[in-house]
Amino acid sequence: MSLVTTKQLLLDAQKGGYAIGAFNVENMEMVQAVVAAAEELQSPVILQTTPSTVKYADLAYFYANVKTAAEKASVPIVMHLDHGNSFELAMQALRTGYTSIMIDGSHESFEDNIKVSKAVVDACHPSGVCVEAELGKVGGKEDDLDGGDDNPYTDPREAIEFVEKTGVDSLAVAIGTAHGVYKGTPKVDVERLSEIQKVVSIPLVLHGTSGVPDEVVKECIRRGICKVNYATDLRIAFSKGVNEVLHDAPDTIDPKKYNSKGRDEVKKYVMDKIKVCGSAGKAF
At 126-168, the pLDDT tens digits run 999 999 999 986 654 545 554 444 547 999 999 999 999 999 9
- Structure confidence by residue, pLDDT tens digits, 179-193: 655 556 678 999 999
Is the domain defined by 7-277 classed in CATH 1.10.10.350? no
Residue 190 contacts residue 223 (beta carbons within 8 Å): yes
Query: Does the annotation place 151 within a ligand binding site?
Result: no
Residue 120 contacts residue 134 (beta carbons within 8 Å): no
Over residues 89-93, the mean pLDDT reads 98
- Structure confidence by residue, pLDDT tens digits, 201-245: 999 999 989 889 999 999 999 999 999 999 999 999 999 999 999
pLDDT value of position 121: 98
Pairing of strands 20-24, 225-230: parallel
Query: What is the rounded radius of gyration, in angstroms, for the C-alpha atoms of the chain?
Result: 18
Query: Does the annotation place 167 within a ligand binding site?
Result: no
Question: Which helix (H) or strand (E) segment is 139 a member of?
Answer: strand 139-142
Global pTM?
Answer: 0.92
Query: Does the annotation place 247 within a ligand binding site?
Result: no
* Mean pLDDT across the chain: 93
Query: Does the annotation place 154 within a ligand binding site?
Result: no
Give the span between the Cα atoms of 221 and 213, in whole angstroms.
13
Residues 6+ apart with CB under 8 A from 222: 17
Which of 30-34, 56-60, 74-78, 184-188 has the weakest average pLDDT?
A: 184-188
Active site residue 264: no
Instruction: Find the catalytic residue in 12, 58, 82, 254.
Output: 82
Quick one: CA dihedral 16, 23, 122, 106, positive or negative?
Answer: positive
Over residues 31-39, the mean pLDDT reads 98
* Closest by Cα among 62, 116, 66 to 88: 116
Query: Does the annotation place 207 within a ligand binding site?
Result: yes
Residues 6+ apart with CB under 8 A from 39: 73, 74, 75
